Structure 1
Amino acid sequence: MGLIWWILPAVAGVIGLMLLFAGFGKLAQLKPMAGGGRLFFGVGFLGIAGVVAFAGLNLQTYKRLTYERDVANIKFAAVQGAPDTYKVDVTFSDGQKLLEATGAQPILKGNQFEIGAQVIKFQPVANMLGYDSIYRLDYIEGREAKRFSSDAVTEAQTNGIALTQNPGLDVHALAEKEGPRFGIDAQYGSATYQPMGDGFEYNVNITQDALVARPTEATKTLIQKGAYPGFQSTGGSAQ
């Protein structure tokens, strides 16, 4: 789809140049009417080529700056007999699964989960040239949504598991220290959180600068049912 924005202006530009040369040729032959007509249409085609080219560049720029990539798919299954306790099925974008050292699926407690990552972001110009932000997933944790008091600073417990190790050279630390010299921003991380529940499923993506966890349509319905008893999704009925 993106190539059409370069093919169209290229074709229009070639036609415009051919008409311009033909117009100058007619003028050289002392045929002002024919030459003028060709020059007029030649300039018009060149103008169209320029407009389409700039429009295509603008669209490509927007697409690059809003480009998203798959990070992980996360599913939750309730642990029977343990309130607010869920087995977590995490499948990363490369097909790998998140498992504990024993080979078991991690178990998180709470009614909300958060997943975080370290992000190395490039300047928008670099994004347009194809240099997308890079990330390293850091952790996934379970927690209670209402775990703090608004009256004073309070403590809260969370539970989770690290998603990556750091073998060898710490690229993020190096980018954090030296990156600003080269227009690289590694001064921050990104995290996103959503409700946990039995049967909930989320697709996690990363933009050029942030993680985003989006519930599937079925999960949206489950969340709405929990928040608004009797909720009915379009074309379905509440259970």
Structure 2
Amino acid sequence: MGLIWWILPAIAGVVGLMLLFAGFGKLASLKPVSGGTRLLFGVGFLGLAGIVAFAGLNLQTYKRLTYERDIANIKFAAVDGVPDTYHVDLTFSDGRKLLEANGAQPVLTGDQFEIGAQIIKFQPVANMLGYDSIYRLDYLEGREARRFSSEAVTEATTNGIALAQNPGLDVHALAEKEGNRFGFDAEYGSATYQPMGDRFEYNVNLTQDALVARPTEATKSLIQRGEYPGFQATNGGTK
């Protein structure tokens, strides 16, 4: 929340209280006119402080409830000679890279990837006061887009890697049991999936409600070119 929405009502509130105390002092000195005037202005300043504070909170609803954070960047590079197989270059928001235990980049197979997270969402009032949803990235998965039959329940295989461990206290499980006592609104898993291909790149963001993976402009052109042969990007896109 912008400091101005705290500073303005604080100033108005202090002025209002000073005028109220001065007004009571004048009334105690048997000066009803000046005392009443100060009381009137004091009440007015306190009212102004309340209006500004509530206006600030209202404006905050538009800002905080649409707030997004960058949490990861994902790039894919084809493995030579192996169809639908890609090296994964995943960079977390703090600059860390996703690597396997031997220090190598993970390799996923398929034509889609999915990334999932566990999310704890706070009540809207808490969001307005700056308590944003918290998250822990859970997994990164490769898969085939057409992996199920529409005629019956079928099995499918996927491949992936865990993005987090669960040391110490399981906060997500605690939130499920005791969340209402601490202002939690919901605890759930959220995932997003997109096409996986050579030189594809995505920025993964977290809103107050869900994960979103957005392709870069160059990736949009590559996807369009694959879906519509002969497609040529315009307005500065990759050709």
TM-score by length of 2: 0.78
Equivalent in the alignment of 1:233: 234
Query: In 2, are the aligned partners of 1:111 and 1:195 still within 8 Å (CA)?
Result: yes
SS in 2 for 1:67: coil
Asked if 1:197 is matched to 2:197, the reply is yes
SS in 1 for 2:165: coil
Number of equivalenced pairs: 232
Report the CA distance between 1:72 and its aligned residue. Answer: 0.7
Report the CA distance between 1:50 and its aligned residue. Answer: 7.7
Q: Deviations over 1:6-26 (max 9, x none)?
A: 6677889999xxxxxxxxxxx
Equivalent in the alignment of 1:101: 101
Equivalent in the alignment of 1:161: 161
Q: Deviations over 1:183-211 (max 9, x none)?
A: 32454210011111111111111111211
Query: In 2, are the aligned partners of 1:77 and 1:200 still within 8 Å (CA)?
Result: yes
Identity of aligned residues (%): 82
Q: Deviations over 1:138-175 (max 9, x none)?
A: 10000011111111111111100000111122111111
Please, which moves more after superposition, 167-176 or 77-86?
Answer: 167-176
User: Structure 1 CA distance, aligned partners of 2:50 and 2:234?
Assistant: 48
Please, which moves more after superposition, 208-217 or 108-117?
Answer: 208-217
Query: What stretches of structure 2 of length at least 5 have no aligned partner?
Result: 16-32, 35-39
SS in 2 for 1:126: helix
Query: What stretches of structure 1 of length at least 5 have no aligned partner?
Result: 16-27, 30-38
Q: Structure 2: which amino acid aligns with 1:166?
A: N
User: Structure 2 CA distance, aligned partners of 1:176 and 1:117?
Assistant: 15
Q: Residues 9 and 123 from structure 1, CA distance in 2 versus in 1: closer, same or farther, beyond 3 angstroms?
A: closer
Q: Residues 181 and 81 from structure 1, CA distance in 2 versus in 1: closer, same or farther, beyond 3 angstroms?
A: same
Report the CA distance between 1:46 and its aligned residue. Answer: 10
SS in 2 for 1:188: strand
What's the RMSD between the two structures over aligned residues?
3.5
User: Structure 1 CA distance, aligned partners of 2:84 and 2:142?
Assistant: 10
Q: Structure 2: which amino acid aligns with 1:222?
A: L
